[in-house]
């Protein structure tokens, strides 16, 4: 069967950046990634490239930032006082936390701590990056009614609940 909306798709993938550095790979986890096609489970640029493909197909997909994790926005990089992290014993670079913004909840990463000043970055770590996917489609099947109503895949490769 061909990949179309409401198909459950399992893929092995390796994601690299422009320099060829591997950022993420399903091969390390042995299990492929399973997702429900047409429900925004994966980034738009990868999802649209998979339409019409079938199990056994291999492809390379290059995804521009606007079809991936978006452009970087300098306005999402802010310096806030240490006191903003009330109740946190240690404020260290690399820590992530969720904060309310005008556009809803957003994940921020602490990028720098200098004295009382803490720099936080609300950009996705892959914002602004061109993404290169090496994909192998391992399975395509019909979704169950329950999977469709939940908008995600159940089973060994998907949600357990
Ligand atoms: Zn579910």
- Per-residue pLDDT at 128: 94
Q: How many angstroms does the Cα of residue 6 sit away from the middle of ligand 1?
A: 14
Distance 34 CA to ligand 1 centre (A): 13
Q: Which fold has domain 7-69+126-150?
A: Chitinase A; domain 3 (3.10.50)
Q: What is the pLDDT of residue 93?
A: 96
**What's the average model confidence in pLDDT over 11-36?**
94
pLDDT at 9: 97
Mean pLDDT of 130-137: 98
What is the CA(158)–ligand 1 centre distance, in A? 9
Quick one: pLDDT band at residue 161, thresholds 50, 70, 90? Answer: confident
| Cβ pair 79, 117 in contact under 8 A | yes
Q: What is the pLDDT of residue 158?
A: 65
Cα Rg of the chain (Å, integer) = 19
15 CB neighbour count, 10 Å cutoff: 21
Please give the C-alpha separations between residue 149 and each of 143, 145, 153, 154, 155, in angstroms, as whole numbers. Answer: 10, 6, 10, 11, 15
pLDDT by residue (tens digit) across 99-131? 888 878 888 999 999 999 999 999 988 999 999
Ligand 1 center from residue 143 Cα (angstroms) = 12
Q: Compute the distance from residue 136 Cα to the ligand 1 centre, in Å.
A: 25
Residues around ligand 1, an ion, CB closer than 5 A: 150, 159
In which residue are the tokens 């670079």 written?
Answer: 93
Q: What's the token pair of residue 77?
A: 């990089």
Convert the pLDDT of each residue in 24-78 to its tens digit: 999 998 889 999 999 999 999 999 999 999 999 999 999 999 999 999 999 999 9
Interval between CA 72 and ligand 1 midpoint (Å): 32
How far does residue 154's CA lie from ligand 1's centre (Å)?
Answer: 6
The answer to whether 23 and 16 have CB atoms below 8 angstroms apart is: yes
Q: Give the domain ranges of the chain.
A: 7-69+126-150, 74-121
Q: How many whole angstroms separate alpha carbon 137 and alpha carbon 46?
A: 12
CA 95 to ligand 1 centroid distance, Å: 29
pLDDT of 10 > 90? The answer is yes
Which residues on neighbouring strands pair with residue 44, listed in sequence order?
none
CATH number of 74-121: 2.40.10.330
Q: Is the pLDDT of residue 160 over 80?
A: no
């Amino acid at each position: 069967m061909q990949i179309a909306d409401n198909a459950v798709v399992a893929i092995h993938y390796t994601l690299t950046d422009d320099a060829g550095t591997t950022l993420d790979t399903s091969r390390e986890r042995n299990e492929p990634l399973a997702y429900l096609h047409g429900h925004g489970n994966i980034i738009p640029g990868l999802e649209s490239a998979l339409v019409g493909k079938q199990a056994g197909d291999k492809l390379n997909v290059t995804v521009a930032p606007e079809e991936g994790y978006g452009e970087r926005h300098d306005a999402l990089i802010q310096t806030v006082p240490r006191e903003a992290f009330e109740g946190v014993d240690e404020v260290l670079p690399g820590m992530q936390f969720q904060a309310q913004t005008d556009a809803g909840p957003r994940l921020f990463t602490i990028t720098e701590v200098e004295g009382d000043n803490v720099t936080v970055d609300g950009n996705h770590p892959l914002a602004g990056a061109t993404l290169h996917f090496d994909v192998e489609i391992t399975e395509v099947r019909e979704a169950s009614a329950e999977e469709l109503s939940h908008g995600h895949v159940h089973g060994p490769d998907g949600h357990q609940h």
